[in-house]
Structure 1
Amino acid sequence: MRFAKLIASGAMGEIDAAGELVMGGMLGRAVEPHAGERHGHGHGTICLNCGTALVGPHCHECGQSGHVHRSLGAIGHELLHGVAHFEGKMWRTLPLLAWRPGDLTRRYIAGERARFVSPMAMFLFSIFTMFAIFQILGISTPTDLDSNSVKPTVALQQSITKAEATRAKKATKLAKLDANDPDRAELTADIAEADRDIAGYKAALTQIPKVTLDDGDEMQDVHTGWYTLDHGIEKWKKNPALMLYKLQSSIYKFSWLLIPLSLPFVWLLFFWKRQYKLYDHAVFVTYSIAAMSLLFIVITLGSAVRVPGNVLGTLAFVVPPVHMCRQLKQAYQLRWRSAILRTVVLLWFIAIIATLFLLILALLGIMG
């Protein structure tokens, strides 16, 4: 019965992930302009939506295509087209986004819109796809947390208990071996390591100041005087696993907040250059976040297929600053020295932005 429940739970997770993927494609398609796409030849001479005489493949009054599908296969075509833009835009956008992101940014700002997936459509598609991949691979917040496990002294006590249990098992196994058994050396080394761990945990335990309340609780209650905030903090203490789950769910639902949070910081990099408008910075930020989301997808899939950790670590720490530097240089037509300097400053800004984003999500979770 338990095995059946696990299978059902995994199946539901994959169905949810597929739903997130399709939703991301549909939302991306909803904000994606249709200009520059081929929809076949006209269907008659009158627009079936508003009755205007057609002078081309689309109605010049309402914008509806003159060719209207009425087959079951057309539904699948629209689904695939909405999820992945199979008519060419995605495949023209992705190479530029990966290797020449600044050129893509500059060309889109300059008005070359029909050839490429718009920044917001790419952002929505990449964010939803990333979290769909996380769900498929079972990457989620831990569900076995309790309020005691977040207390440092309790966590150390649990670690000591676990280490002592491991040591006892090793010692029992060692006692059963013959004097000349080759496994004795390994078991002896494991026991010595467990002794060092236990001693380290106990030493750390003595360094933590303990605050004892009347009810024996080590953690003082927080009273800000704001009922909603105090109630949310109390819920976090009682069920940290649920709060972490809500925080994870909020990350992709409110990921769009990263765009307005980033705009002031990117503006600071160029505030004296009046030729660059906030719209230009918004396109830069949105394409950049989409590119980072796609990178996380690549790293996650690489980890799933057992790509060496040093390779994935190099991708995670080297590619983002290099990509940002190239995008800055190409989009704003900077020299390398100026682009590198701004990239260093931007990385500091990103740490501030991420902190603000997580604080906002934590407050939303506590007060929600």
Structure 2
Amino acid sequence: MEHDIEAAGAASVSGLTSGSHHPVQSGLPCTNCGEVVPDRFCSTCGQLASDFHRPVWDLISGSLGDMFALDGRLLRSLPLLLFRPGRLTRNYLDGQRARYVPPFRMFLLASVIFFLTIFSLGDRMGWFGGLRFDQPSESGLEVGLTLPADRAARDALNQALADPGLDDATRAQLADSQVVIGSGIQMSEILLPDGKIDRVALRTLIEERADPDTTPAEIEVAYRTIDHAATVFENQDRFGARLRQWAPRFSLLFLPVFSLLLALLYAWHRQVYMYDHLITGLHFQTFLYVLGTALLIVVAAIPSTTGWAIGLGFALVLAYLYRLVRVTYGSGRLLSGLRAVLLLILSMILLAMLAIGLVVLSFFLT
């Protein structure tokens, strides 16, 4: 993944510059269209006649010097993006594109800086270690297969508990019995001393608790499902590494998810297209990466500010999102506030589900 980040960083930084700090190959055929390049740029397709197959830090240092010296697009784009939410997006959608950094290039550069920061600081501060589930409760792992006798006893208990005249002591006793009957497979029955799951015992318990009419294929499906869950449980110490591996990927997947949420909230606006939502999503995520990078640096320097940083981050994100949708889409104050809150809540839920789902899926695929 680190090589992917370096390649993305090189591509994003090179796209921000005018090319004066990059060596060119004038007089040779253009690698894009084949026409001879007379000077620095191809007169046919406009591509810079430079070879970017160099160490990534050479590319970054040269590109940054070029960017700040000659190409002021980043200096015009970044302050507008950070301190005037929605204005850069609205200007870009209105056709004022030449003077600003293209949204995807700025998004890509900000994401590279963010992930390089969180990975380097995370390794040093130990943020990716110790990501484990809590100790399993006494109810253990529920396989969803119950003996007929257990089912009949559970129905009888439910009927008894429905009696309004039942005293508190009896009700508590019946409730405890209900928990025991519906407990499923206990962790103590399948957990080995080394923390692994006894697969033989697991299969045996599933077969014993299956209904008489359960087919072997259904038992096999149940076993495979619980076996995957056991694999995840056994490899909790690898969650940090998997989260680090997949984080840049599900951050990219979050872009279309956020854009689709915007599309749903503005579905009745006929003059607003999916392109508008994608540009808005790119600028919003770029802001998140810049803000996240700044907060990570502060937390790493002063660990006692973690709680304040999280609270401040949520407040800034909500305020930014409110101004973003208000300025970009011209919504009223009330509707912008409601949409901002809804977008933030749904985005957090979907991002958490996406992250957990991809990490868990990665265990199933190995």
Q: Is 1:79 paired with 2:64?
A: no
Match of 1:258 among 254, 259, 265: 254
Match of 2:245 among 244, 249, 265: 249
Q: In structure 2, what residue type is equivalent to 1:150? A: Q
Query: Where does residue 135 of structure 2 map in the other structure?
Result: 150
User: In 1, distance between residues paired with 2:46 and 2:188?
Assistant: 69
1:111 aligns to what SS in structure 2? coil
Deviations 1:112-147 (A, max 9, x none): 3332222222222222322221222234322585x8
| Gap change, CA 1:228 and 1:261, over 3 Å in 2 | farther
Q: Equivalences for 1:66-215 in 2 at 5 Å?
A: 78-82=59-63, 85-86=67-68, 87-137=71-121, 138=124, 139-143=126-130, 150-152=135-137, 211=183, 213=186
Q: Equivalences for 1:254-293 in 2 at 5 Å?
A: 254-293=250-289
> Can you give the 5+ residue segments of structure 1 that lack an aligned partner in the other structure?
1-15, 155-205
| Gap change, CA 1:77 and 1:252, over 3 Å in 2 | closer
Q: Is 1:327 paired with 2:324?
A: yes
User: In 1, distance between residues paired with 2:352 and 2:118?
Assistant: 22
Percent of residue pairs identical: 20
Tell me the CA shift for residue 361 of structure 1. 1.0
Larger RCO (alpha carbons 8 Å, 6+ apart) = 1
Query: Where does residue 25 of structure 1 map in the other structure?
Result: 9
Say how many residue pairs are matched: 292
User: In 2, distance between residues paired with 1:214 and 1:151?
Assistant: 7
| Gap change, CA 1:350 and 1:315, over 3 Å in 2 | same
1:284 aligns to what SS in structure 2? helix
| Gap change, CA 1:289 and 1:334, over 3 Å in 2 | same
The answer (yes or no) to whether the contact 1:229–1:366 under 8 Å persists in 2 is no
Tell me the CA shift for residue 345 of structure 1. 2.1
User: In 2, distance between residues paired with 1:278 and 1:129?
Assistant: 27
User: In 1, distance between residues paired with 2:106 and 2:224?
Assistant: 37
The answer (yes or no) to whether the contact 1:243–1:365 under 8 Å persists in 2 is no
User: In 2, distance between residues paired with 1:28 and 1:80?
Assistant: 13
Q: In structure 2, what residue type is equivalent to 1:330? A: V
Tell me the CA shift for residue 274 of structure 1. 1.1
Q: Is 1:340 paired with 2:337?
A: yes
1:283 aligns to what SS in structure 2? helix
User: In 2, distance between residues paired with 1:335 and 1:313?
Assistant: 28
Tell me the CA shift for residue 260 of structure 1. 1.5
How high is the TM-score relative to the length of structure 1?
0.65
| Gap change, CA 1:255 and 1:91, over 3 Å in 2 | same
The answer (yes or no) to whether the contact 1:292–1:320 under 8 Å persists in 2 is yes
The answer (yes or no) to whether the contact 1:22–1:83 under 8 Å persists in 2 is no
User: In 2, distance between residues paired with 1:83 and 1:43?
Assistant: 17
> Can you give the 5+ residue segments of structure 2 that lack an aligned partner in the other structure?
140-175, 192-196, 207-218
Deviations 1:211-239 (A, max 9, x none): 56596347996978177655432221222
The answer (yes or no) to whether the contact 1:24–1:83 under 8 Å persists in 2 is no
The answer (yes or no) to whether the contact 2:80–2:87 under 8 Å persists in 1 is yes
Tell me the CA shift for residue 104 of structure 1. 0.9
Match of 2:47 among 64, 85, 96: 64
| Gap change, CA 1:353 and 1:215, over 3 Å in 2 | closer
Query: Where does residue 350 of structure 1 map in the other structure?
Result: 347
| Gap change, CA 1:20 and 1:311, over 3 Å in 2 | farther
User: In 1, distance between residues paired with 2:237 and 2:117?
Assistant: 21
